[in-house]
A and B are shown apart, each in its own frame.
Chain A
Amino acid sequence: MADITLRALRKSYGGNEVVKGVDLSVPARSFLVILGPSGCGKSTLLRMIAGLEEITSGELTIGGERMNDKEPRERHCAMVFQNYALYPHMTVARNIAYPLEVAGVPRALRERRVRETAASVGLADYLERKPGQLSGGQRQRVAMARAMIREPRVFLFDEPLSNLDATLRVQMRLELRRLHQRLGVTSVLVTHDQTEAMTMADLLVVMNGGRIEQAGTPLEVYGRPASRFVASFIGTPPMNLVEAEIAPSGRLHTELGPLPIAVERIASGPVLLGVRPEHVLLATGPDNADLELPLELVEELGATRILHARLDGRGFAVATAPGLPFPPGATLLLRLDPSQLHLFGRADGRRIDAGLVRIGEQVPVAPTEAVAVPFR
């Protein structure tokens, strides 16, 4: 159990910088998830922690000890690879035992530990098989067992679930969390799947273009996205973003017309107005509607339904409870809750913290139609 700190960590290949100065501190026993689109440098960052990529500059410490120039074997990290990287010519038992074999653990002890570890991940009956004879989920477990058996200080996971089918992925997600609760080993997991990130992380880091966009608990990141990128990357469907201007009076003018909503404590200028689909309310009538949009199509998810409206060639999604019939082509009357709106600078995309209030009337709208969208 060790904490990890990254100070101004950078990585370049030739003149091409892929990790552009990352500062991060991971408390011992926590589960960090690094989320980002492909090519954002998240896997490189993980491999730098593992010791498989050299650190160009900056400092990495594990358990307070500087690790920049240590070999992978001296860092006491175990890693689970995306393709599992099992040794194809060895049996499951020998695959799991390999870290101990290399460390020179006596055979009898080794065999006992292999049996225990294999049993704990449900592989007891497969010890004599070769990896080629196992299913994807079983291979994943072998990779897990091989990582667990050395009792490492840190677990590193490089997109470990992305080669599994959907059902197995959900199941392994839970198993990984259980494992983390049971062993309490500091874990770092890299993924491009926001559901995986939200469900597994104690600490969630969103990366983009070699930099950290935001770090925080999953709910912080979801509830107060620090940038336009985070806002549109997390959430299914993603946050609706509408171009708007703050008038000198403080009133918000969107591309769809003026809203009866004012912004306090902020200078006028161009912004992006963001609202999550589940925070858009259905108005009870034309009198209290803020937006009127034509309905294009409806997605039924069972627990919720997503109404997709058209807005100048882009989509505008609204999540509601199932039940009410909405014929295509109908006009959606929508109402916005000022406390659930987000503002981002149009030029830099950063979050703007400002107070938003409804101008004039303070009558709360009926929130009955709004429903939180669970993550798929």
Chain B
Amino acid sequence: MDKRAWFRNTPLALALAAPQLLLVLLFFYWPSGAALYWAFTLEQPWGGGNVFVGLENFRTIFGDPLYWNSVGRSVVFALASTLLAMTLGMLLALAVDRRLKGHAGFRWALIWPYAIAAPAAGLAFRFLLSPEAGMIAYLNHSFPGLWNPIVNGWQAMLLIILAYSWKYVAYNFLFLLAGLQSIPKSVIEAAAMDGARPLRRMWDLQLPLLTPTIFFLLVVNLTDSFVDSFGIVDLTTEGGPNKATELLVYKIYFDGFKGLDYSGAAAQSIILMILVIALTFIQFRFVERRIHYS
């Protein structure tokens, strides 16, 4: 059966689609096109003409150890924040689904972090985890030098992972809870009658039946952690100390707007785009096969 409805009024359809098309054109295709053009040319820092250089920009980037450093940091960041945000989101969703004490409050409170802009979240964590004030200051007083993300690279990385995950825990929680609640109650009850305890039911039933949701979140979390982390980094560590938190998207911004290397930055954003597309493709190709869609 054909479920689509057809309308013959093409001008009206175009008029209705126009605002969205215009936005996509203006904010995606135009900048992407410009970036693609710049990636193959050498742009002058203060404007005034450019020269076509072919793959020279890409050669420079791949030959730069600082770029590979940034790739490594990004991978660590992506894996750690995805793991953290999904694990926490899952635990909270399971707690709310089991209607443990306080579930109504959780549910209400957990929705908000996702509504907060990344820079605001970054700023909040910068203050929360700043070494010279608040609770961390007490810790540092008792154990001098215990926590200082301004000089310690891995602590800075931990800081941006925490700040970023905090936002995505909310997002993951919402989806996982919806997924859990769409599992028929009688299936869980049948397992209870069959003698399975709550943890066993979670492992044998809820997790396997949730795999479509988990897969979707995995794709979104990984992709977003590559492209959506700029605000947090900029407001907390600015890529430091000593480039320990210089993620790919931050490096693009830094090289482009601070270093005025427009061509190099444009080439990097093209690489990042290809990376994200490839990553998504791989996930659909290899992970999705193992998923049970009921």
Contacts and interface: CB of A to CB of B under 8 A. Distances in A.
A77 interface: yes
Contact of B186 (A85, A99, A102): A85
A103 B194 CA distance: 9
A78 B193 contact: yes
Contact of A85 (B184, B196, B200, B294): B184
Given A87-B187, A87-B205, A88-B209, A73 B195 contact: yes
Contacts of B208: 89
Given A87-B205, A89-B208, A89-B294, A99 B189 contact: no
Contacts of A208: none
A86 B209 CA distance: 12
Contact of B194 (A71, A98, A132): A98
A150 B209 contact: no
A72 B200 CA distance: 14
Given A81-B189, A87-B187, A88-B209, A99 B194 contact: yes
Given A83-B186, A85-B187, A88-B294, A73 B209 contact: no
B195 A77 contact: no
B184 A72 contact: no
Contacts of A88: 187, 209, 292, 294
B18 to A, nearest CB: 43
B198 to A, nearest CB: 10
A86 B294 CA distance: 12
A82 B208 CA distance: 23
Contact of A132 (B189, B193, B197, B294): B294
Most chain A CB atoms below 10 A, which of B191, B195, B208: B195
A146 interface: yes
A81 B294 contact: no
Interface in B205-227: 205, 208-209
A79 B205 CA distance: 18
Contact of A102 (B184, B195, B292, B294): B195
Contacts of A103: 195
A4 interface: no
A52 interface: yes
A50 B292 CA distance: 30
A78 B205 CA distance: 18
A15 B193 CA distance: 28
B194 A150 contact: yes
A89 B207 CA distance: 11
Contacts of B195: 73, 99, 102-103, 150
A50 B294 CA distance: 27
Contact of A146 (B189, B192, B194): B194
Contact of B192 (A72, A82, A150): A72
A85 B190 contact: yes
Nearest to B291: A89
Contacts of A71: 192
Nearest to B208: A89
Given A85-B184, A89-B292, A89-B294, A102 B194 contact: yes
B186 A50 contact: no
Contacts of A83: 184, 186
Given A85-B187, A89-B208, A102 B193 contact: no
Given A88-B294, A89-B209, A89-B292, A73 B197 contact: yes
A52 B192 contact: yes
A132 B209 CA distance: 14
B186 A81 contact: yes
A85 B184 CA distance: 8
Interface in A138-170: 146, 150
Interface string A61-103: 0000000000111000111011101111100000000110011
Interface string B235-277: 0000000000000000000000000000000000000000000
Contacts of B191: 87, 98, 102
Contacts of B190: 79, 81, 85-87, 146
A141 to B, nearest CB: 15
A71 B191 CA distance: 12
B209 A72 contact: no
A323 B184 CA distance: 52
B193 A72 contact: yes
A51 to B, nearest CB: 8
Given A85-B184, A88-B209, A73 B192 contact: yes
Nearest to B188: A85
Interface in B18-64: none
Contacts of A51: 192-193
A333 to B, nearest CB: 54
Interface in B56-112: none
Contacts of B196: 73, 98, 102
A88 B183 CA distance: 10
Contacts of B192: 51-52, 71-73
Q: What 7 A-B pairs come out closest when comparing CB atoms?
A: A85-B190, A85-B186, A73-B195, A99-B194, A89-B292, A88-B294, A102-B195
23 contacts: A52-B193, A71-B192, A73-B192, A73-B193, A73-B195, A73-B197, A81-B189, A81-B190, A82-B186, A85-B186, A85-B189, A86-B190, A87-B187, A88-B209, A88-B292, A89-B209, A99-B194, A102-B191, A102-B196, A102-B200, A132-B294, A146-B194, A150-B194
Given A78-B194, A132-B294, 17 more contacts: A51-B193, A52-B193, A73-B193, A73-B195, A73-B196, A78-B193, A81-B189, A82-B186, A83-B184, A83-B186, A85-B184, A85-B186, A85-B190, A88-B292, A88-B294, A89-B294, A150-B194
Interface of B: 184, 186-187, 189-197, 200, 204-205, 208-209, 292, 294
